[in-house]
Structure 1
Amino acid sequence: MEKIVVVGANHAGTACINTILDNYKDKEVVVFDANNNISFLGCGMALWIGKQIAGAEGLFYSNKEILTGKGAKIYMETKVDCIDYDNKKICATDKDGNKIEETYDKVILATGSLPITPRIEGMELENVQFVKLYQNAAEVIEKLKDDSIKHVTVVGAGYIGVELAEAFKRNGREITMIDCADTCLSGYYDRDFTEMMTENLKQNGVQVVFNEMVSKIVGNGKVEAIVTDKNEYKTDMVVLCIGFRPNNELGKDSLELFRNGAYIVNKRQETSIKDVYAIGDCATVYDNSIKDTNYIALATNAVRSGVVAAHNACGTDIQSIGVQGSNGISIWGLNMVSTGLTLEKAKANGYDAITTEFEDLQKPAFIEHKNEKVKLRIVYDKNTRVILGAQMASREDISMGIHMFSLAIQEGVTIDKLKLLDIFFLPHFNQPYNYITMAALTAK
């Protein structure tokens, strides 16, 4: 019986393991994971910290018992020390120090990503926190039972930083959010959208600090202040959210790497070594918006990559159709979604990019109850007219609209194709000449 070893059992790994177990009964599946839990939904940590959900129980969708019940052999709390790719052998150590060896026919790396740790003074102080794993969130929540922690500083204004700023504020703390960039969410939105979110944070009591670089954290045993290149801020806890890096420890000396250290894979999730696959945050993706290899760490991408790798490792030829980096965020009722490239990113990737945009009420003006404005921006190539990206913001739930733009980028649809697109109308939902139609019709 062919043996497939999966190293890592979070989103990508779990999707991969389930796909093999559910579809290929002739395969032996062995799993290694260094953690003591499986399938934790990290996207729910901010909701947990912010007391918007009752607890962490619903943030797990699988466990060791479920997977072993399907026939997998699971090593939990077991760290893989090395992989001998030439002899197809894995060496690991469990929590009791026991050495384990497993051979494989094929191996799938799902080692995920690790928080970027800044090299600054004061990192060893109590109440300097990362929020990545279940244990990290649980530790933070336990510490927040201490009423002396009145102020929390979040370092980083990406998705996780913004979500945690809201979460800690909802938890009753005073919040400062610091970033060296000049705006928040800059990787996903153009400036007029990011300014909407910045103003939203300010209106809800978050102190927003941009264009400042953290230089050190100070305190006597515990955090007392955080120092930037321009100012000092008194605080009781520092939460670092400055990004993640691919966890490539097991293959960095053997496999071909992307510029950020991720394993380079093809559309079958195959690495540069035969019978070795990589999935999730440790691997690259094919980005349809730039028509090239890229790194986009999202849980949705991880799950899809796990499914693709599982089928290919088991002999079924399936290729990824690529991704657009579709994403979304909701902070104090302001909903923002995007896909593909911002205008700035499109130009940086060599496109002669321009935009068309439109802002209007979601429903006809005579609908007076719960009828909010929607802002839409579409980025497209001036010469080919092909859609490259889209951004939407509203206090309405407009999230489903971004799926159409994701498909448009995937399929190379032009902005002109949207002008007479058959979009239904009903006053309960939208306008007859809605913002999508109008943005397309007014495109240059």
Structure 2
Amino acid sequence: MSKIVLVGANHAGTAAVNTILDNYENNEVVVFDRNSNISFLGCGMALWIGEQIKGPEGLFYMTKERIEEKGAKVHLETEIQHIDFEKKVVKAVNKNGEVINETYDKLILATGSLPISPKIKGSNLENVQFVKLYQDAQKAIELLPNKDIKRVAVVGAGYIGVELAEAFQRCGKKVTLIDAAESCLTRYYDSEFRKKMEDNLRNKGIDLQFNQMVSEIKGDTKVEGVLTDKGEYDVDMVVLAIGFRPNTDIAKDSLETFKNGAYKVNLNQQTSKEDVYAIGDCATVYDNSIQDTNYIALATNAVRSGIVAGHNVCGTKLESIGVQGSNGISIYDLKMVSTGMTLEVAKSRGYDAESADWADLQKPEFIEDDNTEVMVKIVYDKATRRILGAQMASSIDISMGIHMFSLAIQEQLTIDKLKLLDIFFLPHFNKPYNYITMAALSAK
């Protein structure tokens, strides 16, 4: 019998505790989380804000009560004050000020990530928002009926920023999307895909302002505008979606960390201390596209890491098979998915990379209804021919295609293996020469 303490109970922590309780008996499991809820699907916040779903209820898939029914003890609204790694004791303080000292045999850190808070003048003004937690989204929604809030600036044009720009526009707000980069979604897509998303956003009236840094949020008590190094924008609300950093302050001086501060873990999710594991956004991953350690904060990675750690703390040896950073976005019905490296990223990492590109109708031309164009781009290494990444875009759900590319990267498949891949044909689904094989055949 082991005593297992988990710190953090969102996606990674929930996956770990369920793995332990569902598969192993006679362990004592204690869970701490500083929030008042667990398992909140933050990726659904924009849907809630944009009124595309009825409410937040479906964004929770686990509760404190259900975990406790399985046999764990759960402390919510409880802050970790200190971890003594030598004596194996976690010190915490709950919302009532009570001190809890919990010993452990195995410790799992699932402390997640924190939004980057830029040191900008005016960032403490009323109507300046982060959107990370359930409470953040709830506050944003409470502000939306305010007739004085007509114009919203979203700072940061990554996935969350783009999704929020759509959400606020759907609520009738005039939206300005600002980013220091030259475009939106720069980490995930090459220029032709980013251009497609930019046109999509502009067509809905969203004002795109790139290549500029926010220097000040203007106002006396409430937001009145945003000042950048290239212009000034009159807005009534500012949403900061600049990015996230690993939440590792509690143990960064005791455990080995990655260059960005994330806990460095092996394929068993172990940290530099044998009985301490780290999972989710606070930990590193093994990235199959670069074949090295990396940091990729995604809910899917968090869940997988929780499963791996859950089995290992109970004595079952299980190694991660690595990740590719597979991801996707759907904005005004434009669906874009990617996995692995973009061509730009691959070249910046020193690969002699090339891409095979193809755009075609999904089905034969004689299928007049429900037939749309699909874009696909396969990034590969010219020397080894190994697939490094892929991107796809369409108005239809093309996500299964990116799953195949994810597996191809994981298994180090070459671009040439895709050229004669057995992809079935039926006019209802695709063309005899499928866009995936056609892209592969175009590889030099």
- Do these two structures clear the TM 0.5 threshold for a shared fold by scoring above it? yes
1:120-177: CA deviations, max 9, x gaps?
A: 1001100000000000000000011212110100000000000000000001101000
2:115 is the counterpart of 1:115: yes
User: 1:350: how far off?
Assistant: 2.0
User: 1:68: how far off?
Assistant: 0.3
Match of 1:330 in 2: 330
- Name the CA distance, whole Å, in 2 between partners of 1:66 and 1:158: 34
2:19 aligns to what SS in structure 1? helix
Match of 1:214 in 2: 214
- Name the CA distance, whole Å, in 2 between partners of 1:45 and 1:231: 30
Match of 1:283 in 2: 283
1:36 aligns to what SS in structure 2? coil
- Name the CA distance, whole Å, in 2 between partners of 1:57 and 1:395: 28
* Structure 2: runs of 5 or more not aligned: none
- Name the CA distance, whole Å, in 2 between partners of 1:104 and 1:85: 10
Equivalent residue runs for 1:378-417 within 5 Å: 378-417=378-417
2:132 aligns to what SS in structure 1? coil
Match of 2:152 in 1: 152
1:242-286: CA deviations, max 9, x gaps?
A: 000000011111000000000000000000011000000000000
- Name the CA distance, whole Å, in 2 between partners of 1:267 and 1:440: 32
2:47 aligns to what SS in structure 1? helix
Instruction: Note if contact 1:68-1:74 (Cα within 8 Å) is conserved in structure 2.
Output: yes
Equivalent residue runs for 1:172-251 within 5 Å: 172-251=172-251
- Name the CA distance, whole Å, in 2 between partners of 1:147 and 1:189: 37
Instruction: Note if contact 1:362-1:396 (Cα within 8 Å) is conserved in structure 2.
Output: no
2:40 is the counterpart of 1:40: yes
2:369 is the counterpart of 1:351: no
| Paired letter, 1:405 | F
1:389-423: CA deviations, max 9, x gaps?
A: 00001112111100000000000111111111100
Match of 1:91 in 2: 91
User: 1:26: how far off?
Assistant: 1.8
2:281 is the counterpart of 1:299: no
1:203-233: CA deviations, max 9, x gaps?
A: 0110000001000001121000000011110
Identity %: 69
- Name the CA distance, whole Å, in 2 between partners of 1:132 and 1:441: 43
Match of 2:432 in 1: 432
| Paired letter, 1:84 | D
* Structure 1: runs of 5 or more not aligned: none
1:320-347: CA deviations, max 9, x gaps?
A: 0000000000000100000000011111
- Name the CA distance, whole Å, in 2 between partners of 1:124 and 1:413: 50
User: 1:201: how far off?
Assistant: 0.3
1:352-389: CA deviations, max 9, x gaps?
A: 10011110001111111121111100000101111000
2:202 aligns to what SS in structure 1? helix
Instruction: Note if contact 1:246-1:261 (Cα within 8 Å) is conserved in structure 2.
Output: yes
1:400 aligns to what SS in structure 2? helix
User: 1:302: how far off?
Assistant: 0.1
2:328 is the counterpart of 1:340: no
- Name the CA distance, whole Å, in 1 between partners of 2:273 and 2:323: 24
2:399 aligns to what SS in structure 1? coil
- Name the CA distance, whole Å, in 1 between partners of 2:305 and 2:162: 27
Match of 2:366 in 1: 366
Q: TM-score, normalised by structure 2?
A: 0.99
RMSD of aligned alpha carbons: 0.6
Equivalent residue runs for 1:66-145 within 5 Å: 66-145=66-145
- Name the CA distance, whole Å, in 2 between partners of 1:212 and 1:299: 30
- Name the CA distance, whole Å, in 1 between partners of 2:43 and 2:301: 14
Match of 1:162 in 2: 162
- Name the CA distance, whole Å, in 1 between partners of 2:230 and 2:54: 40
2:102 aligns to what SS in structure 1? strand
- Name the CA distance, whole Å, in 2 between partners of 1:172 and 1:348: 40
- Name the CA distance, whole Å, in 2 between partners of 1:440 and 1:317: 38
User: 1:351: how far off?
Assistant: 1.3
